[in-house]
Amino acid sequence: MATYSTLRIIAGTYKGKKLNILPIDGLRPTPDRVREDIFNLLGSKVEGALVLDLFAGSGVLGLEALSRGAKKVFLIEKDRNNYLNLCNEKQSFKEQSQIEVINADALNFLDNCKQQFDLIFLDPPYQSELLTQSLEKIIKLDILAPNGLIYAERPSGRNEIFKGYEIKEKRTIGQVSFAILKKSSFLF
């Protein structure tokens, strides 16, 4: 039987709710301090938003958005055991119909996606090129809503070029660097 750790939702309807997190190599749940900063920057953009947490992992970013008033949250998780854990966690939310957990490869999900999202969380494995690949597909396939925002996380010290996007905000907190992005007005 797996030994779980827990992580709590920090604000909104589910403030203080604990989520069970599987001990999976490479899983890096976004720390409370970073989440607080992210959601302070996003502000009212979360309320009523259609949210995509593309590399869900613990699911905490998407579920934090739900707690803060998001309309619907899609959690995409490739690892089968983690996907099943997220399905179990979903059952503890009153708004189960507003949480969709999908067991899929992130890039394949984007290739088959037929809708636009107001808010997209991108926190892929750090030692991959998935951040760049995801951002390229999101632009190419027009997955970000016209006034939508993307949270893009990477390890501190690693510079990324966000082709096709404008950086609204960027921060480094400890080992985490992130940027809040929107579509570049120069290309559209």
pLDDT in tens, 43-84: 999 999 999 999 999 899 999 999 999 999 999 999 999 999
Report yes or no on 104 lying in a domain: yes
Query: Could you tell me which residues come within 8 angstroms of residue 78 by beta carbon, excluding any fewer than 6 positions away?
Result: 103, 104, 105, 106
Q: Looking at the domain assignment, is residue 133 inside a domain?
A: yes
β-bridge partners, 153: 178
Percent of the chain with pLDDT over 90: 68
**Which residues are registered as beta bridge partners of 152?**
122, 179
Q: Could you tell me if residue 144 is inside a domain? A: yes
Closest CA to 145 of 50, 36, 70, 47: 50
Domain of residue 137, CATH code: 3.40.50.150
**Chain segment 90-118, per-residue pLDDT in tens:** 999 999 999 999 999 999 999 999 999 99
Let me know if residue 45 belongs to a domain.
yes
Domain holding 158, by residue range, is 5-183
Give the max Cα distance, the chain: 52
Least Cα distance to 134 among 146, 122, 145, 125 occurs for 122
Whole-model pTM: value is 0.92
* DSSP tag of 126: T
Burial of 106 (0-12, 13-18, 19+ CB in 10 A): buried
In whole angstroms, what is the distance from residue 58 CA to residue 125 CA? 13
Question: Which spans in the chain are helix H?
Answer: 32-42, 60-67, 80-90, 106-112, 130-140
The answer as to whether 188 is a domain residue is no
Number of structural domains found in the chain: 1
